Every structure is written in C-alpha cells, then in structure tokens.
C-alpha cells in the first residue's frame, strides 16, 4: 500500500509523519499540476514544491505519478522528469521519483 496525497489537499506535518512511520510513499499526481488556469497552475506547483521540500526533509519516499484525466493529459517520461525537476529536486532525485513507484509495486 502507498501513502497518497493530492496537491490540493491540506497535507499537514502529521500526515507526512504517518506516511513515514508506515514506510509508505508520498504520491505526487502530475495531473493536479496540469490546470488550464495559469493562476491555479502556479498555486498547485508552489503547493507541490512545499510538500516535496517537507517530505524530503522528513526523508519520506516520493513518487511522481501521472493520474491523467484522459489521453490529452498524458505526459512522456521525459516530460514527467522535467515536472519532477520543477518540484525542486535535482536530476538524480527526479529520476528516483519516477522509478520509485515501480519499485514499490
């Protein structure tokens, strides 16, 4: 089982601690960042960055996943990698965020 958090939810410190205590993954759905409204997109991206920064500080495993609404929202692995980098991690961290979900399944 995996820990799960949407960008638009209010993820508090306790939730990250619970994910960590139960040795679960924090899933960051890219589809929540793909919003047609530029303001909402910026808000979602900033919220996701804060979430990732806090989760990294707490040493919680993070995986970036698609959860695309439909085919128009599907991203290639290279696009997913770039989104992961936009969340504030380096190249190696971004690659780890993409491959971690496969390791957990």
Q: What is the span of the domain harbouring residue 55?
A: 13-104
Percent of the chain at pLDDT > 70 equals: 85
Does residue 77 lie within any of the structural domains? yes
For residue 14 the two structure tokens come to 């306790």
Whether 1 shows a pLDDT value over 50: the answer reads: no
Q: How far apart are CA 49 and CA 42, in angstroms?
A: 10
What total of structural domains would you count in the chain?
1
Question: Considering the domain boundaries, does residue 4 fall inside one?
Answer: no
CATH label of the domain that carries residue 22: 3.20.20.140
Work out the widest C-alpha separation in the chain, in whole angstroms. Answer: 37
Asked whether residue 82 carries a pLDDT value surpassing 80, the answer given is: yes
DSSP H or E run through 63: strand 61-65
Helices marked H in the chain: 13-21, 38-57, 77-86, 91-104
Q: Tens of pLDDT along 35-74? A: 778 898 888 888 888 888 888 998 998 988 888 888 877 8
Task: Mark 43-59 as b/e (b = at least 16 C-beta within 10 Å).
Answer: ebbebbeebbeebbeee
């Amino acid at each position: 089982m995996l820990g799960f958090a949407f960008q638009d939810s209010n993820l508090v410190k306790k939730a990250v601690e619970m994910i960590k205590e139960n040795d679960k993954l924090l899933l960051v759905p890219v589809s929540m960042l793909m919003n047609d409204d530029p303001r909402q997109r910026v808000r979602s991206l900033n919220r996701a960055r804060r979430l990732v920064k806090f989760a990294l500080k707490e040493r919680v495993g993070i995986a970036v996943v698609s959860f695309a609404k439909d085919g128009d929202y599907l991203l290639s692995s290279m696009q997913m990698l770039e989104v992961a980098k936009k969340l504030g991690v380096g190249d190696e961290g971004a690659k780890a965020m993409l491959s971690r979900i496969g390791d957990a399944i």
